[in-house]
């Protein structure tokens, strides 16, 4: 009796979105090399959208696979690791010489470490929080800065090279830190929400449509600093509770 072996292959639908994200990241690098900085940041944000869809499509269509997970991670390294680093380097950091390319490399290396840690910890950590700033959010912070200053205000990157350097290093360190960031994975589109939440979502879309570069940059900048601020607040509350406990023991 002949034993039938299961056919090997890959699921096409979710991997199409992953390929689109990879293409967008590569396109951002090409546009940065051609000094087309009005297009490079947009491509990174498009990669974020595609990256957000591939996993959801895989879950909705029950086409999740180990191959898809590995392919997605490699795509993220290009779109959210190499692409933002090279875009920022070409726009602002190249004028700083060795310091500039080292900062760009630091960001790329931090993104690789962040993705590797996420893959190792996936399924074993609290899914309500990310450990370290997610690489797509770090990429959005870098791309948003370029998009706002170059496209909206026409500021040459070389004039703000040290600001760009600081934000690049901050994004890199935030990715490899142990600071917790809300993942928003507990939000389920199938659940009922209040009418106020619906109005808030509508207003958010209106604001983004009015001025996409500035609104998106402010959103992701706020998310990036929310982790350190939350960590400082928790530390302050912990010290306050410790002082109260010591005073209670003295009484």
pLDDT of residue 251: 66
pLDDT of residue 17: 94
pLDDT of residue 248: 77
Q: Tokens 């912070």 correspond to what residue?
A: 141
Distance separating alpha carbons of residues 236 and 218, to the nearest angstrom: 26
Distance separating alpha carbons of residues 233 and 237, to the nearest angstrom: 6
pLDDT tens digits for 7-36? 556 788 889 999 999 999 999 999 999 999
**pLDDT over 80 at 124, yes or no:** no
Nearest to 144, CA basis, from 88, 101, 78: 88
Give me 21's structure tokens.
């994200």
pLDDT tens digits for 183-236? 876 666 566 667 676 788 788 888 888 899 999 999 999 999 999 999 999 889
More confident residue, 69 or 170: 170
Q: Which residues contact 162 (CB under 8 A, 6 or more apart)?
A: 96
pLDDT tens digits for 85-109? 999 999 999 999 999 999 999 999 9
pLDDT of residue 189: 57
pLDDT of residue 61: 87
pLDDT tens digits for 40-61? 999 999 999 999 998 888 888 8
Q: Could you give all domains of the chain from N- to C-terminal order, each with its CATH number?
A: 12-250 (1.20.120.1760)
**pLDDT over 50 at 131, yes or no:** yes
**pLDDT over 70 at 6, yes or no:** no
pLDDT of residue 125: 65
Q: What percent of the chain has pLDDT over 70?
A: 90
Point out the least confidently predicted range of 1-5, 20-24, 117-121. 1-5
Point out the least confidently predicted range of 66-70, 79-83, 92-96, 160-164. 66-70
For residue 184, CA distances in Å to 105, 171, 195, 223 come to 29, 20, 19, 12
**pLDDT over 90 at 155, yes or no:** yes
Instruction: State mean pLDDT over 171-175.
Output: 97
pLDDT of residue 186: 63
pTM comes to 0.88
Point out the least confidently predicted range of 15-24, 133-142, 146-155, 192-201. 192-201
pLDDT of residue 82: 97
Q: Using 50, 70 and 90 to split pLDDT, how confident is the model at 1?
A: very low
């Amino acid at each position: 009796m002949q034993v039938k072996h299961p056919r090997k292959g890959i699921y096409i639908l979710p991997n199409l979105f992953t390929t689109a994200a990879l293409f967008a990241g590569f396109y951002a690098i090409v546009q940065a090399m051609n000094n087309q900085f009005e297009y490079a940041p947009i491509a990174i944000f498009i990669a974020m959208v595609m990256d957000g869809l591939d996993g959801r499509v895989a879950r909705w269509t029950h086409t999740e696979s180990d191959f898809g997970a590995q392919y997605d991670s490699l795509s993220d390294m290009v779109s959210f690791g190499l692409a933002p680093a090279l875009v920022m380097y070409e726009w602002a950091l190249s004028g700083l010489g060795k310091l500039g390319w080292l900062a760009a490399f630091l960001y790329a290396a931090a993104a690789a470490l962040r993705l590797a840690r996420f893959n190792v910890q996936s399924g074993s950590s609290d899914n309500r929080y990310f450990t370290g700033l997610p690489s797509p959010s770090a990429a959005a912070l870098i791309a948003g800065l370029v998009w706002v200053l170059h496209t909206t205000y026409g500021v040459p990157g070389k004039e703000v090279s040290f600001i760009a350097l600081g934000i690049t290093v901050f994004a890199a360190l935030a990715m490899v830190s142990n600071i917790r960031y809300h993942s928003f994975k507990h939000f389920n589109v199938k659940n009922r929400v209040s009418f106020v939440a619906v109005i808030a979502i509508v207003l958010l879309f209106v604001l983004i449509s009015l001025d996409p570069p500035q609104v998106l940059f402010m959103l992701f900048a706020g998310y990036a600093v929310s982790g350190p601020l939350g960590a400082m607040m928790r530390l302050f509350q912990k010290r306050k509770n410790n002082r109260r406990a010591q005073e209670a023991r003295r009484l």
